[in-house]
Amino acid sequence: MATGFVFHELYMWHNTWNWAQVFAPSLTIQPGEHAENPETKRRFRNLLEVSGLLDHLVPIKARPASEDELARAHSRGHIARIKDMSADNGGDASTLTPFGRGSFEIAQLAAGGTMAAFDSVITGKVRNAYALVRPPGHHATADVGMGFCLFANVAVAVHHARASHRVGRISTVDWDVHHGNGTQSLFYSDPTTLTISLHQDNLFPANSGGLDERGESAGKGYNLNIPLPPGSGDGAYIAAFERVVLPALSRFKPELIVVPSGFDASGVDPLGRMMVSSDGYRRMTSLLMKAAADLCQGRLVMSHEGGYSAMYVPYCGLAVMEEMTGIRTGIEDPWSAHMAKWGQQALQPHQEQAIAAAARLVADIS
Ligand SMILES: [Zn+2]
- Give me the amino acid identity at 185: S
Ligand 1 centroid to Cα of residue 25, in Å, is: 21
Spell out which residues have Cβ within 5 A of ligand 1, the ion: 176, 178, 262, 264, 306
**What is the pTM assigned to this prediction?**
0.98
- Cα–ligand 1 centroid distance for 264 (angstroms): 6
Judge whether 152 and 186 are in contact, CB under 8 Å.
yes
- Name the residues annotated as catalytic: 139
Gap between the Cα atoms of 295 and 132, Å rounded? 25
Residue 325 C-alpha to ligand 1 middle, in angstroms? 25
* Residue-level pLDDT at 235: 98
Q: What is the pLDDT of residues 309-334, one digit of tens each?
A: 999 999 999 999 999 999 999 999 99
Query: What 3-state DSSP class applies to 236?
Result: helix
2 within 8 A of 128, measured Cβ to Cβ: no
Distance of alpha carbon 139 from alpha carbon 128, whole angstroms: 24
Distance 265 CA to ligand 1 centre (A): 8
State what percent of residues in the chain have pLDDT above 90. 95
User: 82: CA distance to ligand 1 center in Å?
Assistant: 21
Angle at which helices 153-165 and 103-122 pack, to 10 degrees?
A: 50
- Residue 26 — pLDDT band, cuts 50, 70, 90? confident
C-alpha of residue 1 to centroid of ligand 1, in Å:
30
Percent of the chain at pLDDT above 70?
100
Say how many Å lie between the CA of residue 262 and the centre of ligand 1.
6
Q: What is the pLDDT of residue 24?
A: 87
